[in-house]
């Protein structure tokens, strides 16, 4: 059985449950974190799409899934799947494991299949969380996958989630959380105009610059 069938094909009861869980999460987030979301009208109603966001907290994938009106499929670090409880949760939200220490060909193949099935693939271009809220330089994964799949990119910025659990005592706080969705980056012209390596670099750079610009609007 291919990774595509395992991760992007579900029966009707699953979709029904997904909608219910998403609605419950929205209510919880609204009450606890007064979540404010803008720009959802910029999300294409169908078609392949790579959603890219800055990464502040483990809560980010769940927050995005709760407010994006389409099903998402995420890369998640393989360590999460070693814990049966966490593994079941992230699997429910259509996550699949990625080995961040190597060039994970299986993950790339799964990503391409997700997009070939006209779904949204979620990626955090920075590659790891930024608990201090500072935007990091992007890895080249988003550019690489966009070039291979021909998928456009949707930039998203999040603020506040890094303040929910604060060190050193890891106390819980309830900050206001904001999310803003930007304009779709049409990568097709870039892919046609530039050689692969340059196209990958340019798409990755444009994606992170757009996310950074959106993030500054949330401050």
**What is the count of structural domains for the chain?**
1
Tell me what pLDDT residue 161 has: 95
Alpha-carbon distance of 125 to 203, in angstroms, equals 11
Residue 2 reports pLDDT greater than 60: no
207: CB partners within 8 A, 6+ apart = 52, 125, 138, 142, 143, 153, 155, 185
Residue 3 reports pLDDT greater than 70: no
39: CB partners within 8 A, 6+ apart = 180, 181, 182
DSSP bridge pairs for 98: 77
Query: Sorting pLDDT into bands at 50, 70 and 90, what band is 5?
Result: very low
pTM: 0.91
CB distance 127 to 208 below 8 Å = no
Range of the domain at 185: 3-218
Q: Find where tokens 């890369």 sit.
A: 75
pLDDT, tens digit (0-9, with 9 covering 90-100), for 128-138: 889 888 999 99
Residue 157 reports pLDDT greater than 80: yes
pLDDT, tens digit (0-9, with 9 covering 90-100), for 27-81: 999 999 999 999 999 999 999 999 999 999 988 988 999 999 998 998 877 777 7
Query: For position 171, which CATH number holds?
Result: 3.40.1130.10
Cis peptide before 168 (omega within 30 of 0): yes
Alpha-carbon distance of 46 to 50, in angstroms, equals 12
Tell me what pLDDT residue 1 has: 33
pLDDT, tens digit (0-9, with 9 covering 90-100), for 107-116: 888 999 999 9
Tell me what pLDDT residue 4 has: 40
Which candidate, 130, 148, 164, 131, places its Cα nearest to that of 200?
Answer: 148
């Amino acid at each position: 059985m291919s990774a595509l069938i395992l991760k992007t094909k579900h029966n009707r009861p699953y979709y029904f449950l997904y909608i219910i869980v998403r609605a419950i999460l929205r209510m919880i987030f609204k009450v606890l974190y007064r979540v404010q979301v803008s720009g959802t009208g910029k999300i294409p109603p169908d078609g392949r799409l790579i959603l890219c966001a800055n990464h502040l907290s483990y809560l980010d994938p769940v927050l995005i899934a709760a407010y994006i009106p389409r099903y998402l499929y995420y890369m998640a670090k393989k360590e999460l799947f070693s814990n049966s409880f966490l593994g079941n949760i992230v699997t429910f939200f259509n996550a699949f494991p990625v080995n961040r220490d190597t060039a994970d060909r299986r993950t790339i193949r799964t990503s391409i299949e997700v997009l070939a099935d006209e779904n949204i693939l979620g990626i955090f271009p920075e590659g790891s969380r930024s608990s201090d809220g500072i935007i990091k330089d992007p890895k080249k994964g988003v550019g690489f996958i966009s070039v291979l799949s021909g998928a456009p990119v949707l930039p998203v910025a999040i603020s506040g989630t890094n303040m929910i659990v604060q060190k050193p005592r890891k106390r819980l706080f309830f900050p206001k959380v904001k999310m803003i969705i930007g304009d779709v980056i049409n990568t097709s012209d870039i892919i046609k105009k530039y050689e692969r390596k340059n196209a990958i670099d340019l798409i990755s750079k444009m994606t992170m610059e757009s996310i950074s610009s959106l993030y500054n609007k949330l401050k």
